[in-house]
Chains A and B, each alone.
Chain A
Amino acid sequence: KQEVTQIPAALSVPEGENLVLNCSFTDSAIYNLQWFRQDPGKGLTSLLLIQSSQREQTSGRLNASLDKSSGRSTLYIAASQPGDSATYLCAVEKPNDYKLSFGAGTTVTVRA
């Protein structure tokens, strides 16, 4: 069974600092990995999707890397803003499986 772990569980930084969120998974045979954002009482919003053949994806201030062989992904958020405060979840999908296996998330607080 795929186990997904996110460290740290919570993170508090001053505005402007870069954020580094880590995700590890036990089974490297994945189809893709996604990073989601979840605001309190809301659903999940997909931020970035990295296919297994890719090493990284970028969108604006967000950059996600994938090292499939070591079972790791990192989400970088540059120049953090208070609006970045949320819980960030990573999820992996196995080939021909469709369902996502999620980590427990990292709750980020960006202090103004």
Chain B
Amino acid sequence: GAGVSQTPSNKVTEKGKYVELRCDPISGHTALYWYRQSLGQGPEFLIYFQGTGAADDSGLPNDRFFAVRPEGSVSTLKIQRTERGDSAVYLCASSLSLAGGPDTQYFGPGTRLTVL
């Protein structure tokens, strides 16, 4: 079946602009995660959705970052007033989130964001 997809694959923007990054999770996965990976580093957690609600947004770096998942499927990560330091690969993952067991997260290919 189809895996996690992310669009666009690459996004180049200018400092101060607004960007939206989209994630399509695996069908039926109730949990969705956003991570950010800077060059040479491992991914860092940003936000976790269970269904439509953000269950944990403790990783969002500041209030310029916001994410939604209005129908419990597709999610959009929104970044306002972009800064050069926001340049990174933004990864999305989804999982079944079954109670009582380990929950493998399946990752998409990521969106590479470059802020000039």
Q: In the bound complex, how far is the Cα of B106 from the Cα of A102, in angstroms?
A: 15
Total contacting residues, chain B, CB less than 8 A: 27
Highest count of chain A CB atoms <10 Å: which of B41, B43, B91, B110: B43
Task: Flag if A100 contacts B104 (CB, 8 Å).
Answer: no
B40 CB within 8 Å of chain A: yes
Task: Flag if A104 contacts B109 (CB, 8 Å).
Answer: no
Task: Flag if B42 contacts A43 (CB, 8 Å).
Answer: no
Interface size class of A (residues with CB under 8 A): 20 to 34
Return the CB mask of B25-39 against A: 1 if under 8 Å, else 0: 000000101010000
Highest count of chain A CB atoms <10 Å: which of B4, B45, B108, B112: B45
Contact of A98 among B31, B40, B43, B106 (CB under 8 A): B31
The 6 A-B pairs with the shortest beta carbon distances in the complex, nearest first, are A102-B42, A43-B107, A99-B45, A44-B107, A43-B109, A32-B102
List 6 interface pairs A-B (beta carbons < 8 Å), by A numbering.
A36-B107, A41-B112, A98-B56, A99-B48, A99-B59, A102-B44
Chain A residues close to B by CB (< 8 Å)? 4, 31-32, 34, 36, 41-46, 49, 51, 89, 91, 98-105
